Copies of this chain bind each other. A is one copy, B any other.
Amino acid sequence: MTGGYLKGRIRREDIISAAAVVYGEAGYHGSSLREIAKRVGISHAGLLYYFPTKEALLAAVLERRDAEDSEREQLTVPPGLEVLRHFVALAEHNVRHPGIVDLYSRLAAEAVAPDHPAHEYFEEHYRQARESVIGSFRLLATTGELREGVDPDFAALTFIALMDGLQVQWLTTPADVDLVGSLRFYLRTLLAVPLDPED
């Protein structure tokens, strides 16, 4: 690895980090490449060398977020209780990193517009999240670990929605919202078995 290449990698990562902070503060639409360049301490032209468009930088921020999430929480474990435990662990991690939650909530709300550059990303994000959880709830239904009469598909959809809605409410009124406790409460209403020994 040459010094120049390494320097380029570091600079690129710095820009992505600064962009994540600015999106969290001002939203994607409210941000500018000029402002992000200023935070990193480089020129506007210097930033354009790495990210020629706002969209290219947004894509890099989202890619990094996904890579970090899946590395940390291994959300690709086989279906079952373990998947639900990983989502609870993800929530525990998020509570300690409100900046990540803020960025995600802001972008998700902006990107409901079909012409937003992150719209497809979030469509795909929701599909994947639901699929991963649907598989688990369906399996738990067959093993009798899901409470009788609970529809696995509705359980999955509402579980993902609850995580999202809790995050915004928690960011707004942190003292009133026990984010992880609320998720555990919800899983207790759905499951016929304890989620884990703490439950």
Size category, A interface: 35 or more
User: A185 contacts which of B109, B127, B158 (Cβ < 8 Å)?
Assistant: B158
Main secondary structure of the interface of A (DSSP, over half): helix
Q: Report chain B residues within 8 Å CB of A151.
A: 185
Residues of B within 8 Å of A123, CB to CB, are: 172-173
A26 in contact (CB, < 8 A) = yes
Closest residue of B by beta carbon distance from A122: B172
Q: Is the CB of A169 within 8 A of B157?
A: yes
Which residues of chain B are within 8 angstroms of A197 by Cβ–Cβ distance? none
Stretch at the interface among A6-14, A59-67, A160-168: A160-168
A172 to chain B: which residues have CB within 8 Å?
Answer: 108, 111-112, 119, 122-123, 126
CB of B171 within 8 A of CB of A161, answer no
A182 near B158 (CB under 8 angstroms)? yes
B112 near A109: Cβ-Cβ < 8 Å: no
Q: State the A residues within 8 Å of B (CB).
A: 25-27, 29-30, 102, 105-106, 108-113, 119, 122-123, 126-127, 130, 147, 149-151, 154-155, 157-158, 160-166, 168-169, 171-173, 176-178, 181-182, 185-186, 188-190
16 CB contacts below 8 A, A to B, read A27-B30, A30-B30, A102-B112, A102-B113, A106-B109, A108-B172, A109-B110, A112-B171, A157-B176, A157-B182, A158-B166, A158-B185, A161-B162, A162-B165, A164-B169, A189-B190
